[in-house]
């Protein structure tokens, strides 16, 4: 169990990252390769990534170099996932390279005590060895993470839409209370389901916390082992089959008229529905935007979801619909065509 202690200043400084973090994606995707748990949620990724690693000649390096440094256990070195607040892969890899040698040695020592480190791991304190290691990280990212960036970002944006509604309804505490089955908010402490070998308190002491959504994280959040590092909680996204539509509470919404070309393609009501979903919309909000009944809106949402244009996530007593990468591309193409007309 992880217990995160919040003060008033921490609530004001807690935020949700706008993107996933590429090096956390590398780390947690490597965890996915080490377990069959939750394979249903990543079946296509697992099958395709295994094949690509073989084709690129990376399978042995991943097995012998990366997996031993990223064990799916209570600890792996913090320097492998530097805090960079979504500055991107290049900045993250530069931060790995810039890690002080004494810190690398210390964290590899912890890994050796907790999980067992490979005998060569201490050499990562040497700049040249770390440069070679960073090249391997980039190659793995290119194969296992980069091809899924659009899908990952769409899921992150859907998660942010859900959390934003919780924030508007109940403030930061409301957002924390609705994080999911892996967390329980009992003011002023967030109780987090963590690795069973870990029982720990994290005291934010005015620093706030950055919540980082992770597509590859299925079950339990992860944070830095070193309490002196900036507080980060890498959180699971919701992975579930498409939700059945549920009745929505009354709410007001508005949507700009969709592009005429989109209305011709989809029909006016369905085009309005897709346009409304661009900012996240419940079934009831789609109904009000399109001027149709709730049952009709539900059918439109189902058709758009079946076509791969939207995704649906349960949010309290309603279902929140957000765009997939394909849906976003359709809207962008329609907007460009309208602008050119």
Tell me the C-alpha distance between 140 and 146, whole Å: 9
Q: Which of 73, 78, 80 is nearest to 115 (CA)?
A: 73
Tell me the C-alpha distance between 194 and 219, whole Å: 9
pLDDT tens profile 42-99: 888 999 999 999 999 999 999 999 999 999 989 999 999 998 755 789 999 999 999 9
Helix axes 22-32, 43-55, angle to 10 degrees: 100
Q: Which of 323, 314, 1, 265 is nearest to 166 (CA)?
A: 314
pLDDT tens profile 163-175: 887 887 889 998 8
Tell me the C-alpha distance between 21 and 89, whole Å: 8
| pTM, to two decimals | 0.74
Report the Cα 330 to chain-centroid distance in Å.
Answer: 23
Bridge partners of 282?
A: 320
Contact 62, 141 (CB under 8 A): no
Token pair 């907790």 is at which residue? 114
Structure tokens at 216: 């590859």
Could you say which DSSP state residue 317 is in? T
Mean pLDDT by 10 residues, the chain (341 residues): 95 90 95 87 90 96 96 94 81 95 97 94 96 97 93 81 81 88 92 92 94 88 93 80 40 45 71 82 85 86 87 75 80 64 45
Query: What DSSP string describes 255-312?
Result: -PPPPHHHHHHH-HHHHHHHHHHTT-EEHHHHHHHHT--HHHHHHHHHHHHHTTSEEE
Report the Cα 173 to chain-centroid distance in Å.
Answer: 20
The whole-number pLDDT of residue 315 equals 64
Pairing assessment for the beta strands 2-5 and 200-203 based on DSSP bridges: parallel
Number of other CB atoms surrounding residue 38 within 10 Å: 16
**Burial of 243 from C-beta contacts in 10 A (0-12 / 13-18 / 19+):** middle
Q: Which of 225, 237, 235, 238 is nearest to 81 (CA)?
A: 225
Going from the C-alpha of 150 to that of each of 34, 121, 146, 155, 325, the distances in angstroms are 24, 34, 9, 9, 6
């Amino acid at each position: 169990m992880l217990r995160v202690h919040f003060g008033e200043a921490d609530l004001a400084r807690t935020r949700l990252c706008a993107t996933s973090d590429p090096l956390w994606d590398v780390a947690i995707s490597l965890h996915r390769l080490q377990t069959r748990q939750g394979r249903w949620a990543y079946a296509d990724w697992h099958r395709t990534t295994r094949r690509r690693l073989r084709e690129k000649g990376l399978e042995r390096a991943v097995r012998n170099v990366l997996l031993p440094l990223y064990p799916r256990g209570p600890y792996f070195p913090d320097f492998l996932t530097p805090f960079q607040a979504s500055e991107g892969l290049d900045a993250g890899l530069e931060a790995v390279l810039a890690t002080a040698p004494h810190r690398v040695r210390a964290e590899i020592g912890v890994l050796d005590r907790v999980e067992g480190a490979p005998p060569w791991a201490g050499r990562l304190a040497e700049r040249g060895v770390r440069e070679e290691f960073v090249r391997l990280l980039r190659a793995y990212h290119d194969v296992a993470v980069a091809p899924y960036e659009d899908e990952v970002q769409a899921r992150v944006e859907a998660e942010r839409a859900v959390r934003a509604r919780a924030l508007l309804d109940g403030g930061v505490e409301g957002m924390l209370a609705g994080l999911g089955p892996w967390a329980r908010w009992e003011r002023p402490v967030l109780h987090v389901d963590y690795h069973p070998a870990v029982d720990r308190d994290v005291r934010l002491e005015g620093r706030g916390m950055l919540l980082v959504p992770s597509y590859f994280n299925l079950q339990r959040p992860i944070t830095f082992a070193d309490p002196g590092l900036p507080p980060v909680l890498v959180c699971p996204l919701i992975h579930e089959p498409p939700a059945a539509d549920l009745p929505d509470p009354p709410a007001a919404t508005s949507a700009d008229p969709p592009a005429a070309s989109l209305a011709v393609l989809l029909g006016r009501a369905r085009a309005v529905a897709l346009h409304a979903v661009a900012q996240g919309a419940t079934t009831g909000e789609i109904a009000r935007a399109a001027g149709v009944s709730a049952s009709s809106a539900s059918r439109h949402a189902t058709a758009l979801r079946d076509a791969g244009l939207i995704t649906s996530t349960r949010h309290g007593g309603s279902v929140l619909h957000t765009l997939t990468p394909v849906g976003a591309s359709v809207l962008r193409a329609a907007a460009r065509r309208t602008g050119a007309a």
